[in-house]
């Protein structure tokens, strides 16, 4: 016989109380002389047997009632076999543990995840004390998310329609599906999630010491991922539905944030599929209340030229996810330089590079729910894969306080100027502005070629340039157009300028091919989104003070905007190329994709930003020639020119950061590097030495080899998977064929949405879960009695028996004349 509250079992000694009271009453009887003894004796002789029997039954009923009450209070869980027959003999506890980054929310030294683990231990202990058959299954949400992501990746490969957007073209796409709370699409998950590969514990019986079972899970910590419980729920659906004789209790242990539980169509759909009479759904809230929290929303360099020795501005955006304003938030900025020649992996140090503490970035005031952006300037004198890290002061959630970005600095950024004039007269202004010489260092390496270069050069040769500027190009053949299209589609930046070398007839004839899909290209997007009518004069009425250029809010003009007067006040545009927005080339999709970033006084577009694939085309509908405009003589030309190159070159820049859990990949040439590489994982708080992993690159082409690690890879060990889903700086070390060590840094940050700690009100949660019977409670309000609800039927049985017994006791007491009749 076992009880949930074992100490209360001593209460069974109370069953002796009625007997003791009876005996004491017999001993403590009073004595009285009695004259009418014969009648008393006669009554005694007549009723002796009944009186004795009723007395015995009365005492027995009282003792039994006492025992039942004690059993109910102590939560008698020792069901004999006949009791087990009344209820279901097996109870399967499915615990779905939210191990997303927000579960690291810590209060009083205990994180929400630790609270959840404590609740799991309580469940196991309570189940162990019950003699019914209990089995426990435990799923971490992150493992289910990773498995689901793996299935989706498989579906991508098997479904060509999903391959249009390669993984490499999804910046910051971490493992968890952002739409995980949406109903799953059968097309994307044709296969089912397998519980045996996901579960931490699957249908495990509880050993004598439940903690033995939980040793492994207790050593885990919340991930840095954004996780959804939907995939784990989807995993258990077939398990729950498989055995109809099994009683099921599903525990969802989470922190119940508004962002996760407000729009929960998919989650609700899965809960609907498992609900039933034999299924109990328990929502265990592991966080008592919302805590103050600051989150680094983003940390990324401005879209500028990233070159050694050139100052780089890093934008750091911090959001206040608390309920009170944050004041004087000092953000620690650390720059790590990896340019030293004798660099080598240093697992015992936080970073292997040379660390420099920059002056802290101070945010004076951040209102609740608001985000503020500040920028910090860093300069790395030498090329290399450098790192900048920002760290907020400690608050309740630590994982969103640190963000990193990688700056892969080259010695210079190569810019190709293609001039229609063999003498290069159109390139003069750009050459002057982008490489002024002297002490001014722009980090740009300017090359000038004729239009034939685009035709004759290998397509891969264009990839060496971060930006290509075409000026006054009269005509390009199909190969040149194809090379340009390929270049832009792969992330290159193309700037197109017109000029005197192209007549109005040329516009219609020569640029017609630009407005059509390029044969053999990877996508059908044309190089020009609209047709051209030809050159036009921009008339100016006398007394009209409107500037010729009206700039929109665009990174190119970012330094120039915000002033009271137009920066282009003295810029005069005489001629421009008029577009034909209604031409055949202006399909619906292309019409939507381009947008003017600056317009003329007559509302005609002057500069147009137009995406093709991963790259951008910036179309200037005028020329730098003095007959077209005087802009090159204006100081704003230098600023906008440099910004334009920085903007266009940013689309080919390597990733600066991604969300935690994103695959790690390093492509390099087999002729330059050896395939053996070593990966240093970010430091862990519990370990003084960083974990390392040897990774051998594999060939992916003639000369290219690739080292890659994907957390979704099922062949990886759990430790490696856990390390791959952590946030921080991953240092990937390799050796060149010359024997030098090379390093490539990869930054993985916690999704900032995990910092949104606003909790969903219970009333709203109940409303969202309308139609689904569930039990919502906080983890702190439960202990070993968590399982008590599972034993309701048994306790109800005891209660019914107790009520019956008390009624019988009253009848017996009345029958034994223990109740005096009314006089």
Partner 1 sequence: MPDSKNYLHPEAIRRISSMELRARNIVEGFLSGMHRSPYFGQSVEFVQHRQYVPGDDLRHIDWKVWGRQDRLYIKQYEEDTNLRCTLLVDGSESMNYGRGPLNKFDYAATLAACLAYLTLRQQDSVGLTLFDQQIRTKLPWRSSRNHLQSIYRALQQSKPTNKTDLTKVFREINDTYPKRSLMVLATDFLGSEKESLQGLASLRKSGHDILVFHIMDDDELDFPFNDPTRFEGMETIDNLTCNPRALREGYLESLQRFLDRVRRACASAQIDYQLIRTSRNIDAALSAFLSARMAHMRKR
Instruction: Work out which of 13, 44, 635, 800 binds partner 1, going by CB under 8 A.
Output: 44
Q: Quote the least distance from Cβ 48 to partner 1, whole Å.
A: 9
Q: Quote the least distance from Cβ 116 to partner 1, whole Å.
A: 59
Instruction: Work out which of 6, 43, 165, 197 binds partner 1, going by CB under 8 A.
Output: 43
Question: How many of the other CB atoms lie within 10 Å of CB of 654?
Answer: 15
Complex with partner 1: residue 29 or 341, whichever CB lies closer: 29
Instruction: Work out which of 1, 20, 34, 394 binds partner 1, going by CB under 8 A.
Output: 34
Extract the tokens encoding 686: 């519990």
Instruction: Say whether 470 sits in a helix, a strand or coil.
Output: strand
Position 744 contacts partner 1 (CB under 8 A): no
Q: Which stretch binds partner 1 (CB under 8 A): 40-48, 236-244, 601-609, 661-669?
A: 40-48
Q: Which stretch binds partner 1 (CB under 8 A): 30-38, 314-322, 369-377, 736-744?
A: 30-38
Position 49 contacts partner 1 (CB under 8 A): no
Instruction: Work out which of 13, 16, 41, 313 binds partner 1, going by CB under 8 A.
Output: 41
Residue 802 contacts residue 69 (beta carbons within 8 Å): yes
Give the integer Cα–Cα distance in Å for 475 and 461: 21
SS (H, E, C) 531-577: EEEEEEECCCCCCCCCCCEEECCCHHHCCCCCCCCCCCCCCCECEEE
Complex with partner 1: residue 25 or 289, whichever CB lies closer: 25
**Pick from 419, 248, 395, 257: which is nearest to 324 by CA?**
395
Q: Quote the least distance from Cβ 813 to partner 1, whole Å.
A: 10
Give the integer Cα–Cα distance in Å for 599 and 568: 12
Position 272 contacts partner 1 (CB under 8 A): no
Instruction: Work out which of 55, 273, 447, 795 binds partner 1, going by CB under 8 A.
Output: 55
Instruction: Work out which of 38, 342, 357, 537 binds partner 1, going by CB under 8 A.
Output: 38
Residue 129 contacts residue 3 (beta carbons within 8 Å): yes
Position 165 contacts partner 1 (CB under 8 A): no
Position 20 contacts partner 1 (CB under 8 A): no
Q: Quote the least distance from Cβ 30 to partner 1, whole Å.
A: 5
Instruction: Work out which of 16, 42, 187, 703 binds partner 1, going by CB under 8 A.
Output: 42
Half-sphere exposure of 93 (CA within 13 A, CB side): 31
Q: Quote the least distance from Cβ 52 to partner 1, whole Å.
A: 9
Complex with partner 1: residue 38 or 702, whichever CB lies closer: 38
Position 39 contacts partner 1 (CB under 8 A): yes
Q: Which stretch binds partner 1 (CB under 8 A): 51-59, 204-212, 308-316, 348-356?
A: 51-59
Complex with partner 1: residue 63 or 162, whichever CB lies closer: 63
CA-derived radius of gyration, the chain: 38
Instruction: Work out which of 1, 13, 17, 40 binds partner 1, going by CB under 8 A.
Output: 40
Q: Which stretch binds partner 1 (CB under 8 A): 47-55, 446-454, 511-519, 593-601?
A: 47-55
Give the integer Cα–Cα distance in Å for 580 and 204: 70
Position 56 contacts partner 1 (CB under 8 A): no
Report CA-CA distances (Å) from 223 to 34, 140, 726: 87, 10, 6
Position 354 contacts partner 1 (CB under 8 A): no
Binding mask 119-148 for partner 1 (x = CB under 8 A): ------------------------------
Complex with partner 1: residue 28 or 822, whichever CB lies closer: 28
Residue 226 contacts residue 751 (beta carbons within 8 Å): yes
Give the integer Cα–Cα distance in Å for 125 and 742: 53
Size of the site for partner 1 (CB under 8 A): 28
Q: Which stretch binds partner 1 (CB under 8 A): 46-54, 158-166, 254-262, 530-538?
A: 46-54
Residue 417 contacts residue 447 (beta carbons within 8 Å): yes
Question: Environment class of residue 182 by beta-carbon count within 10 Å: exposed (0-12), middle (13-18) or buried (19+)?
Answer: middle
Position 814 contacts partner 1 (CB under 8 A): no
Stated as kind and residue range, the H or E segment containing 319 is strand 312-320
Q: Quote the least distance from Cβ 801 to partner 1, whole Å.
A: 27
Position 62 contacts partner 1 (CB under 8 A): no
DSSP class per residue in 743-799: EEEEEEE--GGGG--PBPPHHHHHHHTTTS--EEEEGGG-SGGGGGGGGHHHHHHHH
Q: Quote the least distance from Cβ 820 to partner 1, whole Å.
A: 7
Complex with partner 1: residue 29 or 81, whichever CB lies closer: 29
Instruction: Work out which of 35, 439, 440, 542 binds partner 1, going by CB under 8 A.
Output: 35
Q: Which stretch binds partner 1 (CB under 8 A): 43-51, 111-119, 329-337, 370-378?
A: 43-51
Give the integer Cα–Cα distance in Å for 156 and 691: 32
Complex with partner 1: residue 10 or 34, whichever CB lies closer: 34
Residue 95 contacts residue 147 (beta carbons within 8 Å): no
Q: Which stretch binds partner 1 (CB under 8 A): 346-354, 521-529, 622-630, 810-818?
A: 810-818
The widest CA-to-CA distance across the chain, in whole angstroms, is 148
Q: Which stretch binds partner 1 (CB under 8 A): 45-53, 245-253, 303-311, 713-721?
A: 45-53
* 279-285, strands of its sheet edge to edge: 201-205, 133-140, 90-97, 247-254, 279-285, 775-778
Instruction: Dump strand ranges (E) for 472-542.
Output: 493-497, 531-537
Report CA-CA distances (Å) from 657 to 174, 284, 298, 393, 613: 11, 34, 9, 21, 20
The owner of tokens 């050593």 is: 219
Complex with partner 1: residue 60 or 457, whichever CB lies closer: 60
Q: Which stretch binds partner 1 (CB under 8 A): 35-43, 93-101, 531-539, 731-739?
A: 35-43
Interface positions with partner 1 (CB under 8 A): 25-26, 28-44, 46-47, 51, 54-55, 816-818, 820
């Amino acid at each position: 016989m076992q009880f949930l509250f074992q100490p209360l079992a001593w209460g069974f000694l109370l069953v002796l109380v009625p007997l003791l009271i009876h005996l004491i009453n017999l001993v403590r009887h009073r004595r009285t002389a009695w004259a009418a003894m014969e009648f008393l004796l006669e009554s005694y002789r007549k009723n002796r047997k009944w009186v004795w029997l009723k007395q015995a039954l009365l005492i027995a009923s009282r003792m039994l009632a006492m025992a039942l009450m004690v059993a109910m209070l102590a939560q008698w869980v020792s069901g004999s076999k006949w009791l087990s027959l009344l209820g279901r003999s097996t109870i399967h506890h499915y615990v779905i543990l939210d191990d997303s980054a927000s579960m690291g929310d810590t209060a009083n030294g205990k994180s929400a995840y630790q609270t959840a683990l404590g609740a799991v231990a309580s469940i196991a202990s309570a189940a162990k004390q019950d003699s019914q058959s209990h089995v426990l299954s435990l799923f971490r949400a992150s493992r289910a998310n990773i498995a689901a992501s793996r299935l989706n990746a498989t579906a991508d490969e098997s479904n060509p329609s999903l391959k249009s957007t390669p993984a490499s073209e999804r910046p910051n796409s971490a493992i968890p599906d952002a739409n995980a709370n949406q109903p799953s699409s059968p097309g994307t998950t044709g296969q089912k999630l397998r519980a045996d590969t996901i579960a931490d514990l699957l249908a495990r019986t509880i050993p004598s010491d439940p903690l033995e079972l939980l040793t492994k899970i207790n050593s885990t910590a919340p991930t840095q991922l954004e996780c959804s419980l939907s995939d784990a729920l989807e995993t258990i659906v077939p398990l729950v539905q498989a055995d109809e004789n099994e009683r099921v209790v599903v525990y969802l242990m989470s922190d119940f944030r508004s962002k996760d539980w407000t729009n929960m169509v998919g989650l609700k759909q899965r809960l609907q599929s498992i609900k039933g009479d034999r299924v109990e759904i328990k929502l265990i809230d592991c966080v008592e209340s919302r805590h103050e929290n600051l989150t680094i929303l983003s940390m990324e360099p401005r879209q500028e030229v990233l070159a050694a020795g050139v100052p780089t501005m890093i934008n750091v955006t911090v959001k206040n996810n608390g309920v009170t304003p944050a004041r004087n938030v000092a953000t620690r900025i650390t720059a790590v330089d990896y340019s030293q020649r004798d660099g080598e992996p240093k697992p015992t140090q936080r970073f292997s590079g040379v660390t420099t503490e920059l002056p802290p970035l101070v945010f004076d005031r951040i209102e609740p729910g608001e985000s503020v952006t500040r920028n910090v300037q860093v300069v790395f004198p030498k090329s290399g894969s450098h790192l900048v890290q920002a760290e907020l002061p400690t608050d309740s959630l630590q994982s969103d306080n640190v963000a990193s970005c990688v700056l892969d600095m080259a010695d210079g950024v190569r810019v190709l100027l293609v001039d229609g004039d063999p003498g290069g007269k159109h390139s003069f202004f750009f050459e002057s502005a982008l490489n002024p010489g002297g002490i001014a260092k722009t980090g740009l390496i300017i090359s000038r070629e004729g239009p034939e270069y685009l035709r004759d050069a290998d397509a891969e040769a264009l990839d060496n340039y971060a930006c290509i500027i075409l000026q006054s190009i009269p005509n390009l053949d199909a190969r040149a157009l194809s090379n340009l299209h390929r270049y832009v589609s792969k992330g290159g930046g193309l700037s197109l300028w017109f000029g005197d070398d192209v007549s109005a007839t040329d516009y219609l004839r020569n640029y017609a091919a630009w407005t059509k899909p390029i044969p053999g290209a990877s996508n059908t997007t044309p190089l020009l989104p609209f047709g051209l009518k030809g050159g036009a004069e921009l008339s100016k009425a006398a007394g009209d003070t409107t500037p010729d250029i009206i700039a929109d809010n665009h990174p190119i003009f970012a330094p120039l905007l915000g002033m009271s007067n137009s920066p282009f006040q003295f810029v005069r545009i005489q001629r421009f190329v008029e577009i034909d927005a209604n031409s055949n080339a202006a399909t619906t999709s292309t019409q939507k994709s381009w947008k003017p970033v600056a317009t003329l006084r007559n509302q005609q577009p002057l500069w147009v930003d137009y995406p093709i694939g991963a790259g951008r085309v910036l179309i200037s509908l005028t020329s730098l020639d003095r007959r077209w405009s005087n802009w090159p003589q204006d100081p704003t030309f230098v600023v906008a020119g440099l910004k334009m190159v920085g903007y266009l070159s940013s689309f080919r820049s390597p990733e600066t950061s991604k969300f935690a859990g994103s695959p790690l990949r390093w492509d390099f040439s087999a002729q330059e590097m050896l395939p053996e590489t070593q990966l240093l994982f970010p430091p862990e708080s519990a370990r003084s030495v960083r974990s390392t992993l040897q990774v051998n690159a594999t060939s992916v082409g003639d000369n290219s080899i690739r080292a890659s690690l994907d957390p979704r890879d099922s062949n990886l060990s759990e430790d490696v998977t856990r390390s791959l889903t952590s946030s921080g700086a991953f240092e990937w070390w390799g050796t060149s064929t010359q024997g030098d060590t090379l390093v490539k840094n990869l930054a993985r940050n916690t999704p900032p949405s995990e910092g949104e700690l606003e909790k969903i009100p219970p009333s709203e949660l109940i409303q969202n879960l309308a139609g689904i019977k569930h039990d919502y409670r906080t983890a702190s309000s439960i202990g070993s009695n968590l399982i008590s609800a599972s034993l309701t039927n048994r306790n109800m049985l005891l209660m019914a028996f107790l009520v019956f017994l008390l009624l019988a006791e009253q009848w017996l007491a009345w029958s034994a004349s223990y109740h005096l009749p009314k006089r």
